[in-house]
Amino acid sequence: MTTDPEGEGRETAVHRTHKSEAAFRTISEVAAELDVQQHVLRFWETRFPVIQPLKRGGGRRYYRPEDVALLRAIRDRLYGDGFTIKGVRKLLAENGVEGLIAGGAAAETPKPRERTVREPDLPFEIPADGASPKLLTPMQSTAIAAAIGRLGRLKTHLDQVVEGNLSGNPVASPE
């Protein structure tokens, strides 16, 4: 126990060993309990509107026991089960807060994501495993031919720039 200026004894947060299960918790207490950083909890508030801790003077957050249970379930889905934020949001939409909390180990295992590559000027995705897209439309074929042409011109220009730098004669931009 420490003594405050008025001489009254009070227990400080440093010496407090246990809070009632029904007690509200500060963001630092919740972060320590869940083993995440405080900024992560604040970030989750922006991504999961159902997280609504009480805010008191100066914006200080106080988490109810049900808030802590929800945060624990979110942490478990994200870090333990490998869900994305979008996946956890989907689970919340489908099952609600109670379903997410009760889900525990029974939560559906996420399917591995199909890896695709999105090329900036192409109107379709290319499978990352190198397999060719099925049945290209004429527009897609034209877009591919144009992209290949641009790449060829860029390679020629880069070769000229490298050669110019090596010989001491810089090359001007094509535009």
Token pair 């801790």: residue: 53
Q: How far is CA 6 from CA 1, 9, 12, 72, in A?
A: 14, 9, 15, 40
Token pair 């249970």: residue: 69
> What six digits make up the tokens of 45?
């508030």
Mean pLDDT score across all residues of the chain: 75
Which has the closest alpha carbon to 74: 38, 44, 52?
44
What pTM did the predictor assign?
Answer: 0.51
pLDDT at residue 10 greater than cutoff 50: no
Give the pLDDT confidence score for residue 42 in this predicted structure. Answer: 92
Token pair 């299960």: residue: 21
Average pLDDT over every residue of 86-106: 81
Whole-angstrom distance, CA of residue 12 vs CA of residue 148 = 68
> What six digits make up the tokens of 33?
């309990």
Give the CATH number of domain 19-106: 1.10.1660.10
Give the pLDDT confidence score for residue 159 in this predicted structure. Answer: 84
Between 11 and 122, where is the model more confident? 122
Element of type H or E holding 39: helix 38-47
Q: How do the domains of the chain map onto residue ranges?
A: 19-106, 116-167
Give the pLDDT confidence score for residue 15 in this predicted structure. Answer: 40
Contacts of 118 (CB under 8 A, 6+ apart): 125
Between 70 and 141, where is the model more confident? 70
Give the pLDDT confidence score for residue 47 in this predicted structure. Answer: 93
93: three-class secondary structure by DSSP: helix
Element of type H or E holding 155: helix 138-167
Which has the closest alpha carbon to 33: 74, 61, 72, 70?
72
CA angle 50, 54, 56 (to 5 degrees): 150
Between 84 and 105, where is the model more confident? 84
Whole-angstrom distance, CA of residue 110 vs CA of residue 143 = 34
